[in-house]
Structure formats: C-alpha cells, structure tokens
Amino acid sequence: MDAITILSSLLDGLLIGFVYGIAAMGLNLIWGVMRVINLTHGALIALGMFGVYLLFSGLGLNPYLALILVAALGLLAGIAIYYVAIERVINAPHLSTLLATFSVNMIIIGLGTAVFTTTPRDTGFSLGSIRAGPVTLLGTRLVATLITLLVTGLLYAYLYRTRAGKSIRAVSNNRAAAELMGIPSKRILALSFGLGTMLAAIAGGLIATFFSFTILSGSVYELKSFIIGVLGGLGNPLGALLGGLILGVLEGVLPLAMPNTWVPVIEFLLFILILLLKPNGLLGGKQ
Amino acid sequence: MKRWLNPGFGLVFLFVLGMGLAPVFSKDAAAREVGFTVLLAISMATSLNIITGYTGYVSFGHVVFYGLGGYVGMYLIDKWNAPLPLAVLGGGAVAAVLAFLLGKAILRLRGAYFALATIGINEAMRTFVSNFAPFGGPTGIELQFSVYKPYGGAAQALWMTYYAVVGIAAFSVVFSYFLKTSKFGLGLMAIREDEDAAEVVGVVAPSAKTLAYVLSAFLPGMLGVLFFFKNGNVEPGDAFRLHFSIETLVMMMLGGQGTVMGPVIGALGYQRLRGVLLTSDVKIGALPLKDFQLVIAGGLMLLIILFIPAGLVGWLRQRFARLRRYLV
C-alpha cells in the first residue's frame, strides 16, 4: 500500500465527510434546541434525494439550482411536521416525541414506497474530475464540499447575526427564560425544526448527485448522523461537521486495512463507546 | 396469595391462554399461523414493558435479544444437533447474559441517550453478525430439512413451536403481573417516576435496573429461537430488524405502557390491523390498499401518541377511577 492510495482514500473520505456532516448538523440542531431526536431525519434525506432527482431528470433543472428549491421545501416540510406531530408532545416524555417523529417517518416512507417503489435511482449527473498531482477528485464531490461549507457559514451567520437566530439560541439555552423575554418560543421551535429538516434535505440532494439511492436509503444516513451527532456532541452543529469528517476519514481509510464489511462494526462500536465515555461528544466538556 | 384473585389479571390470562389454545382444538393450520404471530407479538411487547413500561428506559434495541437468541439457538440446532427445548433455553440464556453485560454499561445513560445507545447496540450486533463466520456471515444459518425428523416431520414441528409460544405468552403475562405487583416491581416504578428519589428511599437503582433488563431480555431470546426454527433460516437483516423493535414499542404503547393488559391488547390490535390491511382488496386510485399499509399504520400511531398517549388501558384507568383495581 503506497502513500498515494492512502492520500486519495483520505481525501475521498474527507469530501464525503462534509456531506455526512451537514446531514448530522440538522439532527444536532433539532436536538440542541428542543431535545427531540428526529426520527424523520432519514425520510427527509430521502425526499431531498428524490427532489433533486425529479427536478433534474424530469424538468432538466441544474441539480444545484434544484437544491435551492429542495432546501426551501425541506424547511416548509419541517415546519409542517412540527405543528402536526411535535407541538402537542414537545413536553411529554422522550418516548412520545421519538414515536411521533417515527410515525411521520412511516407515513413518508410508506407514501414514497407506494409512489416511487424501491427500485434504485441514479441522477447520472457528472462534473468530470479534477487531477491534483497524483490524486483524482470527483467534481460533484468537490462542489458538494463547497456547498456544505457555504451552508455551514450561512447557518452560523444566521444563528449569531440575526434576531431570529439569536432567538433560536436563546430558546435552546433556556426556553422558559426566553419566553419571559418575549420570544415566541413555539414559532422559534417550529423554525428550528424546519432548519434541521432543511439541512437533511440539502444533504440528501447533495448525496443524490454522486450516489444511487432508493426511498429507503435515508435510513443509512440517519444512522450515520446519529454516530456523527454523538461524536461531535449532540446539540453542537459545528461538532457535527467535525464528526462527519472523522466518520468520512474512517470510511475512507479503514477499508485499506480490513474487509469493507467490518467498517460499520467499528463505527457502531465507536458510537457506543463515545456515548458511554464522553456523552457530550469529543468537543464537549464534562457532564 | 390474594394477588391471584384479581379478576382483571384472571381475565387477561385466560384470554391469552384461550386464544392460544383455540387453534390446537380446531386443528386449523391457518389459525395457528395467525396465532403464532399474535402470541409472539404479545410476548415481545410484554417483555419490553418490563424495561420500558415499568422502569421507564426506552429501548429501541429490544430486537437485539430476539436476534441474538435466535442465532444462538439456530447454531446449537444446526451445528450441535441440540434438541429444540435446549436450544430455546440456550437462546434465552445468552440473551439474558448479553442484557446483564450491557445493563452494567448503558443503563447509566438516561433518557434519549439510552434510547440512542440501544439503537447503536442493535446495529453493531447486526453488522458484527454479518461478518461472523460461525453464524454464516451475511447469508446466515439455514437448517437442513432433516432436523425436523426427531419431532415427527416438519408439520409436527410447526405444532411444537406453536405449543411453546402459547406457553411463553401465557407465562409472560403471569410473570409481568407478578413482577408488577411485587416489591421489586414497585422499586422499578419508583425508578421510572424519579430515579434519584428512588435511590434516596432505598431502591438500589443500578442493580434493580440491570435485573429488570435481564428479565426483559430472556423471553425475546427464547422467542427468536422458536421463530427462526419454524422459519428454517436466519439472516442478519431479519434477526436484527430495527423496525421490529419499533413495532414492539408501538404495540406496547397502543395498549398502555406500564400495565399488564396494555401490551396484550396493543399487540392483538396492531396485528389484527396489519392483517386486515395486508389482505384487503380495496384500492386507492390505481394502487392496492396494502401498499399504504405503512401510511395507515403510521397515521394511526401518530393519532394515538398525540391524543391518547397513555394507551387504551391507561386512558380507561384515567377515565374510570373505580375500574383501576381491575385494570392491571
């Protein structure tokens, strides 16, 4: 095994890691603000994939333009899901929000399976590849990385520079106190949930530009998002990006040392270990 | 011994036993298959109720015990020619040991962290078993047809697994009731309401939780062996299906978590609904209703969680205070 193989696996892993990161960021944002583990996450990722696929293959729209539309729809879908399924149970024990989001997941996956069936889809979109010295990088993955960085930057600007973003942070810090300061907490919760699902839809759309998928593919990325979320610290959006990079690099490099099928075993063991030893994530402080 | 005399308990016990024995007397193989599914669901939901309903720890990984137990039992039957009862006990025992080891580690986590850890454990186990050569890796274990011979052929073996599942279901209800009404059960419910307060009044929470986890794990371990023995083969995807865990949670919740009757009623209701949806001829547009099975089940579940979160039995208990003594 030479240095170039390792380097190119590493770079491949890093690029995928950014997309994993943005998927997990959505999950983390929702957990951080409202302490809800969103089990519709995978379904929204799958819808993002189909959104980009249908707009590109059906209407011939450029996938990255389609992504903007998909992001907007993801935001609206999240707000709708919040008002329908979560608002009533937001203060109930965890089981209620877990099962409420899971039933929405069942509805989306059920409709999706009935309409789209489970045959694999592929956008067949390509941007060629770029040679940087000895390694070759796929154009679609580079663009996906750039978009991820852009979205992360925008998200942080939104959370730290705008009034709505500051309200989101206030609600996540202390909902009761935020309400006493006149912040409409329900609307802020709905908005945060929408932002979380928007990130899921964007991640799905980006994945669709370089992998084939079915309506059920979202659940794979949902599980990865759990791992990443825990790696980076649940509730910490920037940690999610770091966690995504770690997972991406592991997926890039581990197959060089062991059979491919052992990689998820390592990932899930890592997940359990981090939960047990550092439940606040690698970046988190003491419990 | 007065606990035996509670009419609510008597009713639910006789109901499960009667429903289980009906196909035995009618010798109806189709009714037996339906009965097997329902009784399996009842035992799964009842055993999950011990850790989630009584103790308050939401487990998304209940199926890990079912899958691992099933694998161990199949391995014993296939490789060592173990008789079925021994394999069933072996599956249950290994599941219990796994729960003990896991319990020591993950029951320290509370709330959603515990739920996430159980998902992780199930996935770790599934991916590990897919790589584990003695268990057949990704293709799993397939039984030779000859293993059914000592039981008088495959048809007779199906009846044997059925008797066993009737026994386990009836036992699970008795076990669940006596656990709930015991001092230990009260301790578990104290943990559910407020773990720190429970410790202050003398419940040794870490050992009580671990024991509850072990008690909830051995039945799924045994059931897994029966199911996969009847099925003839076991694969990682079937054995550790996360969706099955969640269905079990839903069944428990439909009827009412933390009650003895709830998981029984919930499992029966959920399986009946599934049966109706799967066999219905009604069409929506161009698509048959069974394509919408998941949508309808999800919609119904959402309505129940939003509007009757305590489940049917829990709702009745709130509504009719006088009946509380009987609605165990």
Q: Do A100 and B106 touch (CB under 8 A)?
A: no
Q: Which residues of A touch B112 (CB under 8 A)?
A: 31, 35, 37, 94, 98
- Asked whether A143 and A64 are in contact (CB, 8 A), the reply is yes
Alpha-carbon distance B51 to B186, whole Å?
A: 13
A21's tokens = 């990161």
How far, in whole angstroms, is CA A93 from its chain's centroid?
25
Residue numbers of B between 49 and 108 with CB closer than 8 Å to A: 52, 56, 58, 60, 105-106, 108
Count of CB atoms within 10 A of residue A65's CB? 12
How does strand A129-132 pair with strand B141-142? unpaired
Element (H, E) at A129: strand A129-132
Q: Do B119 and A95 touch (CB under 8 A)?
A: no
Q: Which residues of A154-172 are buried (b: 16+ CB within 10 A; e: fewer)?
A: ebeeebeeeeebebbebbb
Q: Is B144 left (phi over 0), alpha (psi -120 to 50) or beta?
A: beta
Alpha-carbon distance A147 to A156, whole Å?
A: 14
Q: Any chain A CB within 8 A of the CB of B117?
A: yes
CA nearest to B301 within chain A: A103
Q: Any chain A CB within 8 A of the CB of B237?
A: no
Single pTM value for the model: 0.90
Residues in chain A whose Cβ is within 8 Å of chain B: 31, 35, 37, 84-85, 88-89, 92-96, 98-100, 102-107, 109-111, 113-114, 223, 226-227, 230, 259, 261-262, 264-265, 268-269, 271-272, 275-276, 279
User: What is the Rg, in whole angstroms, of the alpha carbon atoms belonging to chain B?
Assistant: 20
User: pLDDT tens digits for chain B (328 residues)?
Assistant: 577 788 889 999 999 999 999 998 888 888 999 999 999 999 999 999 999 999 999 999 999 999 999 999 999 999 998 999 999 999 999 999 999 999 888 998 888 889 889 999 999 999 999 999 999 999 999 988 888 888 888 888 899 999 999 999 999 999 999 999 999 999 999 999 999 999 999 999 999 999 999 999 999 999 999 999 999 999 999 999 988 998 899 899 889 999 999 999 999 999 998 888 888 777 777 777 777 888 888 898 899 889 988 889 999 999 998 888 888 8
Q: Which of B101, B127, B283 to mutate to probe the A interface, most A CBs <10 Å?
A: B127
To the nearest whole Å, the CA of B78 is away from the closest chain A CA by 25
To the nearest whole Å, the CA of B150 is away from the closest chain A CA by 38
